[in-house]
Amino acid sequence: MRNLVSRLRFEMYRFWYKHIKNSVVQTEYMNCKILVRANEDVGLQILVGNYEKNDLLYLLSMIRDGDTFFDIGANIGLFSLLVAKKNCTVKVHSFEPIPINSCLFKASLCLNEIESVNLNQCCVGDFVGDIEFSLASDSAYSSIHDTGRFPEIKKIKAKITTLDEYLKMNDLTRIDIMKIDVEGAEKLVLDGARNILSNNLVKPRLVLMELFDKNFDLFGTSIDDVVNVMKLYKYKAFVIDGNDKSVFCPRHYNKIYNVFFELEGNDGVKKNYERHL
């Protein structure tokens, strides 16, 4: 019944806002003030109170004092805002190339009086430089390539960097938890983080990634490719399925999109935790 009510609310809001271009609404989600674009899917789901709540709750439960959190493909900043609001000692580095989303994110930081977030208006991938970025009519479906899930309205020029380069340029020694949601370019982000992922003292203990084969097709990769890359770096995959934590397997493919990866064994995880003792 709860899911039905949420769906009805979602459709009601969608009908109300779909003809209002760039409809910005202030709302509150999990005790965090946030500006959303109510004519877009992410904004609507936040408005109805049904945006990736179980995944967010799990990720937030893993945050520890002094952590460094990376949010790649931050959109309007919900994950970053909630992490920073939960623990002011966490250093947050966020990446979002779309100008209006970055502006809303900055405004939400002010609304919540958060100063621990470093917002970078750029893409993350496997090289450093400039790139053409495909902007979709619903910005959540924008990517380096046109995803085809919503009409492309234009291409914009954006800066792009790698995680390896970013850590080096900012004198950062580690990432503790990382979220990657870049509409199919996830493997490019991993390719640009080879040094990080090869070093147990630097690599994150937990990674959350969106995995969807329709997006990956544009990049010549697949869910299996990404899972296998993460296995090489000693990560095991799981999903939050309802209230259960389940090993990620083919029956979840393209049904549950958000996939967590945690370091195998106790040694790598222990090294990450020991830094905060």
pLDDT, tens digit, 9 for 90 and up, residues 140-199 = 999 999 999 999 999 999 999 999 999 999 999 999 999 999 999 999 999 999 999 999
Task: Provide the pLDDT for residue 2.
Answer: 55
Average pLDDT over residues 223-230: 98
CB contact at 8 A, 170 and 224: no
Task: Provide the pLDDT for residue 260.
Answer: 99
Give the containing element (helix H, strand E) for 114: none
270 falls in which pLDDT band (50, 70, 90)?
Answer: very low
Average pLDDT over residues 123-136: 98
In SS3 terms, 194-229 reads as HHHHCCCCCCCCEEEEECCHHHHHCCCCCHHHHHHH
Query: Lowest-confidence range among 50-59, 112-121, 235-244, 266-275?
Result: 266-275
Give the containing element (helix H, strand E) for 75: none
CA distance 133 to 148: 13
17 falls in which pLDDT band (50, 70, 90)?
Answer: low
CA distance 9 to 230: 38
Task: Provide the pLDDT for residue 29.
Answer: 97
Task: Provide the pLDDT for residue 1.
Answer: 53
Listed residue (46, 93, 48, 45) closest to 67, CA to CA: 93
Work out the angle at residue 200's Cα, subtended by the Cα atoms of residues 195 and 203, and round it to the nearest 5 degrees: 60
- What does the pLDDT look like over 31-81, one tens digit per residue? 999 999 999 999 999 998 989 999 999 999 999 999 999 999 999 999 999
pLDDT higher than 60, residue 271 = no
Task: Provide the pLDDT for residue 243.
Answer: 81
CB contact at 8 A, 201 and 184: no
pLDDT higher than 90, residue 223 = yes
pLDDT higher than 50, residue 92 = yes
Query: Would you identify the CATH topology of the domain 52-123+171-274?
Result: Rossmann fold (3.40.50)
pLDDT higher than 70, residue 120 = yes
Sequence length of the chain is 277
CA distance 157 to 147: 17
Q: Which two tokens stand for residue 176?
A: 């503790």
pLDDT higher than 70, residue 251 = yes
Helices (H) and strands (E) in the chain, counts: 11, 13
CA distance 104 to 183: 20
What are the start and end residues of each CATH 3.40.50.150 domain in the chain? Answer: 52-123+171-274
* CA atoms 95, 100, 106, 108: torsion sign: negative
Q: For the whole model, what pTM was predicted?
A: 0.90
Taking only Cα atoms into account, the Rg of the chain, rounded to an integer number of angstroms, comes to: 18
